[in-house]
Structure 1
Amino acid sequence: MHALHKSRTATEEIKPPSKQSSLKSLLSLSQFVLTSGQPGQPAFQKHSRISYLEVEVLDAQTRKQICILEKMLPSFTIADVKHKFYKACPQWYPSRVGLQLESNGPPLRETQALKNLATSSIITLYFRDLGTQINWTTVFLTEYTGPLLIYLLFYFRLPNLYGLEDINHYSRQPVVHLACLCHSLHYTKQILETLFLHCFSNENTALEKLLKGCAFYWGFTAWMAYYINHPLYTPPSFGNRQVMPALVCFLVCGAGNYFTNAVIIQVHKTGTKNHFVRPTYNPLTWLFKLVSCPNYTYEMGAWISFTIMTQTFPVAVFTLMLSLQLILWAQRKHYQYQKDYKNYPSYRTALIPFIL
């Protein structure tokens, strides 16, 4: 009996594999053959699928299609789009290309990514020709160098400038020399700050703005210099009692303008944008506690002092026009600071403490 049981067990052990087991083995072998590759390579390779975007560029005025830019990665920026657009339309180089989401909307910043603008696989942008472009360094150097040279031409009284034959017989008032010194120091400081202090972005501006700025600064400088350096110029009504305090105020405002500009530039250089600009140990920067744009406050104070020191109508008109522009710029920045920083001090004003 025991021998019979042993025999049955042996028979079961050498029982040939079933048909289902053979089929499983065949499938496993075929799968191994199909997935096996060269040594060092994984058995399975997942191919990542890249989704491209298409950018349709339309004319902002006529809304006619200019071109379609294909195979644009979502990570591409507006600057990349401008370079692609330049390859398709070489008559418009990137710096004069303005791209907008709407035909009458604001221009897009060059750092904006397409993935933040896309609502589908096709993005429609509107093109606007910005005209001939000039970098900001050239703009400011041109605007500031002109007044410096123009004023000196009137100060040295070039021949036939005033049409007086015996011009050398007219003596200069001391305030005329002080005015030339202050004017030259102001624009020399502006030029040096442009070259060594300010950090301008890679963005440019239209040649049209440069021409407007030069017409404003150069024209007013010629008008002011003509009156102040005229042989028949009369000194201020209160003499040195008016000139000297105005001179001190002008120099203080000039220094304050420089130091507040330096603080603003330092914040921008370090990339510290998580807090607004704060004053330093320098007393001339303490105005940051009360106003958002103390550099504009000092700039306006310098020209008000120059107006009092020279007591001339052209300087007063220039100071008024410049002050209105500074007020607009300061209010714009003040509102932007209030929007960007939730803890922005409520007692701060834009330009003039507690007033404006």
Structure 2
Amino acid sequence: MAPSTVTVAVQSRGKPIRKLPKEVQLSPDEPTQKLYEQLAKASGYSIHRLRITKAADRALVPNSKDSTIEQNGLNEKTVLHVKDLGPQISWRTVFIIEYLGPLLIPALFLYPLRPYLYYNFDKIPEPTDIQRLVCALLFLHFLKREYETVFVHRFSNATMPARNIVKNSGHYWILAGCNIAYWVFRPDSAAATARASPALVYTGLGLYVFGELANFNTHLVLRDLRRPGSTERGIPRGFGFGAVTCPNYFFEVVSWVGVYLVSGLNWSVLFFIAVAAAPMALWAKKKERRYRKEFGDKYKRKRYVMIPGLV
């Protein structure tokens, strides 16, 4: 007969956790989530701040309501290591902060900060219509991202280390905010000329609108694959998914190419596209491997993971 309870030993790993109990009792059929809840309550730490592994093989014990104590092989001989991951911050909050910078910085550079940024020019003309248009495109892009963060995305992980917020935000605040805004809004940039190319502007606007709408649609498809409160996903299908693994990344690039054209081919926008696209391609390759492993023959394998005919 299976025991009604099991007692597992608990030890801190790395930085000591002062109030961590030396052992806990659990029923074999209880979810591992209960283990996290017990240790979080006893230690006074957030449940998301703890990482529990088995001492014998360092296998992760998941914080899950669908995985039981028995399924993870926890018994009377088990010793668990508990690691303090440090202060945590929710992924939703991280995204909101990340996008807030490039949402506001372009308008600040174009208007109130303009005299101070370009003080070395003999004459600082009023922003051109193209510069105002680029500013509007940047604002709308990141406003859409903020909307998706609050109302669309469902996150598989609740939190991340709070210290990462500076690194994550730097990419957007510096490259998509300060760098693009400074160079595109300069009085001597291509966007400052009165003779903007209609072909570039209208082609860029078309790509931007298409990319933004298609990207938003892809995010809705991905959102509907995951039930609220669950980390399980279905196989993504719909517009773009027949061509690449991650059409949301492809449409993101299309949208930014639109901004690049409207800006008069400003190098700062192209630089941001390159820096952003490189990690997205790696994420897309990892996702393709995960889909193949998770869904097997049910999943139609993709030759290209991000950009049709290229990556």
Answer whether TM exceeds 0.5 for this pair: yes
Which of 134, 139, 151 is residue 184 of structure 1 equivalent to? 139
Which of 116, 132, 145 is residue 160 of structure 1 equivalent to? 116
Shift of 1:103: 8.4
Structure 1 SS opposite 2:8: strand
Partner residue in 2 for 1:215? 170
Which of 261, 286, 289 is residue 335 of structure 1 equivalent to? 289
- Please tell me the residue identity of whatever aligns with 1:325: P
Shift of 1:185: 0.9
Structure 1: runs of 5 or more not aligned: 1-47, 280-284
Is 2:226 aligned against 1:268?
yes
- Please tell me the residue identity of whatever aligns with 2:236: V
8 Å Cα contact 1:103-1:126 kept in structure 2: no
Shift of 1:334: 0.9
Alignment of 1:12-27 (within 5 A): none
RMSD between superposed Cα atoms in Å:
3.0
Partner residue in 2 for 1:6? none
Shift of 1:349: 2.7
8 Å Cα contact 1:223-1:314 kept in structure 2: yes
Distance 1:103 1:254 in 2: 49
Count of residue correspondences = 301
Distance 1:167 1:196 in 2: 45
Structure 1 SS opposite 2:308: coil
Indicate how the Cα distance of structure 1 residues 150 and 326 shifts in structure 2: closer, same or farther if over 3 A, else same: same
Structure 1 SS opposite 2:153: coil
Partner residue in 2 for 1:127? 82
| Superimposed CA distance per residue, residues 241-294 of structure 1 (whole angstroms, 9 cap, x where no aligned partner) | 222212211110011100011111112138896851111xxxxx2x11111111
Partner residue in 2 for 1:231? 187
Indicate how the Cα distance of structure 1 residues 119 and 331 shifts in structure 2: closer, same or farther if over 3 A, else same: same
Distance 2:56 2:117 in 1: 51
Structure 1 SS opposite 2:241: helix
Is 2:160 aligned against 1:205?
yes
Shift of 1:345: 1.3
Which stretch shifts more, 269-278 or 136-145?
269-278
Structure 2 SS opposite 1:98: strand
Distance 2:227 2:260 in 1: 35
8 Å Cα contact 2:292-2:299 kept in structure 1: yes
- Structure number with greater CO (CA < 8 Å, separation at least 6) is 2
Structure 2 SS opposite 1:288: coil
Which of 71, 79, 98 is residue 116 of structure 1 equivalent to? 71
Which of 181, 205, 209 is residue 247 of structure 1 equivalent to? 205
Is 2:51 aligned against 1:78?
no
Which stretch shifts more, 343-352 or 291-300?
343-352
Distance 1:224 1:145 in 2: 15
Shift of 1:109: 2.7
Is 2:261 aligned against 1:308?
yes
Q: Rg: which structure is higher?
A: 1
- Please tell me the residue identity of whatever aligns with 1:303: W
Shift of 1:352: 1.9
Indicate how the Cα distance of structure 1 residues 273 and 348 shifts in structure 2: closer, same or farther if over 3 A, else same: farther
Is 2:246 aligned against 1:288?
no
Indicate how the Cα distance of structure 1 residues 190 and 54 shifts in structure 2: closer, same or farther if over 3 A, else same: same
Aligned sequence identity (%): 25
